[in-house]
Amino acid sequence: MAHYDFDLFTIGGGSGGVRAARMCASFGARVAIAESARFGGTCVNVGCIPKKLFAYAAHFREEFEVATSFGWSGAAHGFDWKTLVANKDREIARLNGVYERLLADAGVEILRGHARLRDAHSVEVNGKAYRAKTILVASGSRPLRLEIPGGDLAISSDDAFYLERLPRRALVLGGGYIAAEFASIFAGLGVATTLAYRGTRLLRGFDAELGERLGVEMQKKGVAMRFGAAPVRIEKHADGALETSFGDGTSAEADLVLAATGRGPNTRGMGLEAAGVKLAEDGAVVVDAYSKSSVDSIYAIGDATDRMNLTPVAIAEGMALAWTLFGGEATAMDYDSVPTAVFSNPNLASVGLSEEKARGLGRKLELYKASFRALKHSLSASEEQTFMKLVVDAESQRVLGAHMLGPDAGEIIQGIAIAVKLGATKAQFDATIGIHPTAAEEFVTMREQAA
């Protein structure tokens, strides 16, 4: 009988890996976890948490401006970037410690260092080999660098969290959620910001109307938008300025260029190929419905699989895996109607099918939309528009998707997501009494179909 040091060896201490390790240990498994950096992964260190803290900071300037319309004066007294970064770092360090304590309290053995597979059951960390019945790859993702001349002059979203000072001018390259969020952050903190994207609208993959309207709202808030602009070269001038040239012959000058052009699975250099694990072209571990790779003893979850790269999804995958391996109940992750949010300014959130996706599935649709100026802005000069949309199956009347652009969109859609997940119909939405006066009540008061 083969000897194993552990029942499960987890590579990566991000949200998914930590949850899987803890859950498996709670089922009585002998578990180890290896992490070469800080616990918490992308989300805690260079993603969800610090990004939203920065987004809060960026929103305050606008809040102070609106406050004057409600009788307040002298609310803003200047902004200090170093204070924000220092306070953010302190909070992240606290969370790093929380993650590590949770693992220790669960009885998981913590190994600090880079893990590399020797074979289907062996992992090496700091020159020492460990045998495990099952190996879990939860190594997350990394920012993709610009593959153009001078691309190394651009920083990544990871780097943005550790800037020594704010630039006077920033150019953000990309049209996804990271680009929209950081462009909003820079602009909100007083940086002259341009967002350049090769496409024709923001947020490919989201409902098209949301992406189009977000671009309009961000321009109202001072972000210069350039569509159809694919970067081809970045050059540094003698005065330190960076000039980015685009495929259409135009260029833009800035003091900082942030490349937010995607992330890729962080799986290279781990010995996966040598162990026989099948990888996709982008390096993602190819897995089945139960997160098992092409090798029976090796599993993978989270961004390393490039399925649905969201922190709560990685956590849910980790929990499903724990039940599958040690809980006596084979459990597949359910990816239907997973809600998500973009913490741009204004916020954006969505659950279920976009109009385009639903039509692509051959559904006959009814669409309900609402666009309005929020009550909060009725006393101010703000022209921000809140937008909501319901995508309804015409035959079953089931609400297939709910989408929102506006303040606290993520908070509102989280509740709406429960109804969508449960298969609520438009009639059931209509029968729900709204809370007045709120923006959220619009989701249960839309009666007229959109043209």
Cα-to-chain-centroid distance, residue 373: 27
Residues 231 and 275 in one domain: no
Report the CATH number at residue 27: 3.50.50.60
Interatomic CA distance for residues 448 and 450, integer angstroms: 6
Report the CATH number at residue 360: 3.30.390.30
On whether residue 13 sits in a domain, the answer given is yes
On whether residue 425 sits in a domain, the answer given is yes
The DSSP symbol for 396 reads T
Residues 394 and 414 in one domain: yes
Q: Greatest CA span in the chain, whole angstroms?
A: 77
381: left (phi over 0), alpha (psi -120 to 50) or beta: alpha
Residues 256 and 269 in one domain: no
pLDDT tens digit sequence for 168-211 = 999 999 999 999 999 999 999 999 999 999 999 999 999 999 99
On whether residue 332 sits in a domain, the answer given is no
Nearest to 7 by CA among 20, 279, 287: 20
Residues 385 and 316 in one domain: no
Rounded (5°) CA angle 278-282-284: 45
pLDDT for 73 equals 87
pLDDT for 1 equals 54
Which residue of the set 3, 77, 237, 436 is catalytic?
436
Residues 71 and 170 in one domain: no
On whether residue 1 sits in a domain, the answer given is no
Residues 157 and 301 in one domain: no
Could you state, in chain order, the average pLDDT of each consecutive group of 10 residues for the chain (451 residues)? 90 98 98 96 96 97 91 83 98 97 97 97 97 98 96 97 97 98 98 97 97 98 97 97 97 98 94 96 97 98 96 98 97 97 98 98 98 94 96 98 98 98 98 98 96 71
Q: Examine residue 437 and say whether the peptide bond preceding it is cis (omega within 30 degrees of 0).
A: yes
End-to-end CA distance of the chain: 69
Q: How far, in Å, are 9, 205, 272, 414 from residue 284 at the CA level? A: 19, 19, 11, 29
Query: What is the CB neighbour count within 10 angstroms for residue 334?
Result: 10
Cα-to-chain-centroid distance, residue 227: 22
On whether residue 251 sits in a domain, the answer given is yes
pLDDT tens digit sequence for 230-260 = 999 999 999 999 999 999 999 999 999 999 9
Q: Do residues 41 and 318 touch, judged by C-beta distance below 8 A?
A: no
Q: Which helix (H) or strand (E) holds 92?
A: helix 81-105
Residues 170 and 106 in one domain: no
Q: Do residues 311 and 43 touch, judged by C-beta distance below 8 A?
A: yes
State how many domains the chain has. Answer: 3
Residues 268 and 256 in one domain: no
pLDDT for 302 equals 98
Helix axes 311-326, 15-26, angle to 10 degrees: 30
Residues 306 and 359 in one domain: no
Structural domain harbouring 354: 346-444
pLDDT for 74 equals 76
Residues 16 and 88 in one domain: yes
Q: What is the CA radius of gyration of the chain?
A: 24
On whether residue 207 sits in a domain, the answer given is yes
On whether residue 213 sits in a domain, the answer given is yes
Residues 138 and 13 in one domain: yes
Annotation marks residue 436 as catalytic? yes
Residues 175 and 210 in one domain: yes
